[in-house]
A and B are shown apart, each in its own frame.
Chain A
């Protein structure tokens, strides 16, 4: 489902964020990506939806080598990858419901089907009652759940989350991870970057540990 092969990433200026990284995630697998700040976790996650391109090696997602994809093909790749960011990247000039509707706006779904999917996604993260609220009115945990709802509304095969529990209390963090586990249980491949070892230990799933840009 997701395969990295001898991947390196060098930024202009010479910073080498990833060095010879190789691993594979099978379809329906859940794995944690851990490491200290600056270890290269975010860079690795950005390579999956081709927000960044590798300097060397190949990144294969859903059978496509994203390194060689044309710019015009990237939107179609990204529609099959659910992305959850540490800073959520929500739009605060529209409602909770409209935030979840955003990815459906450029898909081919009929309005009624899109509305049904958006409400189903909000229901899964327990935010249906807040659909008319503005994201600014939500707590940190609720905003993260909203970001997850938006990431899964297009029913992606792969879900990638960058520090989704950062800045959350322990109880909220567990609720967020339970949502990821629930999606994984219905076959979604999930990769979660976190530096919270307690949470990682709680679930006993595969762990990819990054140190100085290498998997150790």
Chain B
């Protein structure tokens, strides 16, 4: 057991010695692209969730409509089985919400009266906006289902694009590691040949290269996270100004810890895979003469 640990310790230290910061940086830059894309998408997700992702239909009543008319309409909507939910928004509540938006409070105050009508917000998976608009007392209908579907589709496309990018750059990481290890093996050809003559096993000879691939991936992953953190910090300094002008405290956030750890682990795993493929292919080809 001690000898086994000693051999692994020796291989690990050799892997560290052979580690090229430049190669790790190339991997880091490649991995930072999907990692940054994921971070941006994750930052936008809460904002997107606040938007109506369920197909909502807003029914605005006529400004002069009486509360009794509104209650009758509400009862009729709740009885409709095609409608999933009904929420009544009294004109007072609508005014209060609008006044809370920065810059609008003073404008509304200057009006001296509430210009907003009572409204119902209903959700339905069926296209019934036109039909609901003909109900008595309904002055205007606004359906945001199309917008919600477009937003959801755009999000799905962005997610898919990041996935494809991550897969392509992951393959590039494997290829970079494969080639790095190939060059290392060629450089050490004499040592490998002599070691085989003296009784070294393929596992012993290959181990430092496996560690090199693993370390190169891990260091590349850590560098990628550093690049993403730096880029987000830079971006946030401008985003802050823009968001504050809208009364928002929105910022792009760094990857959550589990995802950040996953980036490093996956990078290390892909590096190890590249080393495994390269060692398997090139080490066997070297035989003592």
Which of A's residues lie within 8 Å of B, judged by CB?
49, 51, 72, 75-79, 83, 89, 91, 93, 102-103, 105-111, 150, 154
Contacts and interface: CB of A to CB of B under 8 A. Distances in A.
A69 B196 CA distance: 15
Given A108-B3, A111-B6, A51 B197 contact: yes
Nearest to B200: A106
B10 interface: yes
Interface stretch (B124-132, B187-195, B218-226): B187-195
A109 B10 CA distance: 13
B199 A103 contact: yes
B288 A106 contact: no
Q: State the 7 A-B residue pairs at the shortest beta-carbon distance, nearest first.
A: A79-B199, A108-B3, A78-B199, A103-B198, A106-B200, A75-B201, A75-B199
Nearest to B198: A103
A62 B198 CA distance: 16
Nearest to A91: B191
Interface in B1-38: 2-3, 6-7, 10
A51 B3 contact: no
B289 interface: yes
B200 A51 contact: no
12 contacts: A49-B197, A78-B197, A78-B199, A89-B190, A91-B190, A93-B191, A102-B198, A103-B199, A106-B198, A108-B3, A109-B3, A111-B6
A107 B7 CA distance: 9
Given A77-B199, A78-B198, 12 more contacts: A49-B197, A72-B202, A75-B199, A83-B197, A83-B198, A89-B190, A89-B193, A91-B191, A102-B194, A106-B198, A106-B201, A154-B199
Q: Main secondary structure on chain B at its contact with chain A?
A: helix
B204 interface: yes
Contacts of A76: 199
Nearest to B194: A89
Q: Which residue of B3, B6, B10, B198 has the most chain A CB atoms within 10 A of its CB atom?
A: B198
B105 to A, nearest CB: 77
Contacts of B195: 102, 106
A89 B2 CA distance: 30
A83 to B, nearest CB: 6
A42 to B, nearest CB: 10
Given A106-B7, A110-B2, A75 B196 contact: yes
A105 B199 contact: no
Interface string B56-96: 00000000000000000000000000000000000000000
A44 to B, nearest CB: 15
Contacts of A75: 196, 199-201
A75 B193 CA distance: 12
B10 A91 contact: no
A77 B6 CA distance: 22
Interface in B173-209: 190-191, 193-202, 204
Contacts of A150: 198
Contacts of A109: 3
Given A111-B6, A154-B199, A106 B194 contact: no
A122 B271 CA distance: 40
A61 to B, nearest CB: 13
A108 B1 CA distance: 10
Contact of B197 (A72, A89, A93, A108): A89
A109 B6 CA distance: 10
A108 B7 CA distance: 9
Contacts of B288: 51
Contacts of A105: 10, 200, 204
A93 B188 CA distance: 10
Contacts of B3: 108-109
Interface in B239-289: 288-289
Contacts of A49: 197
A78 B202 CA distance: 13
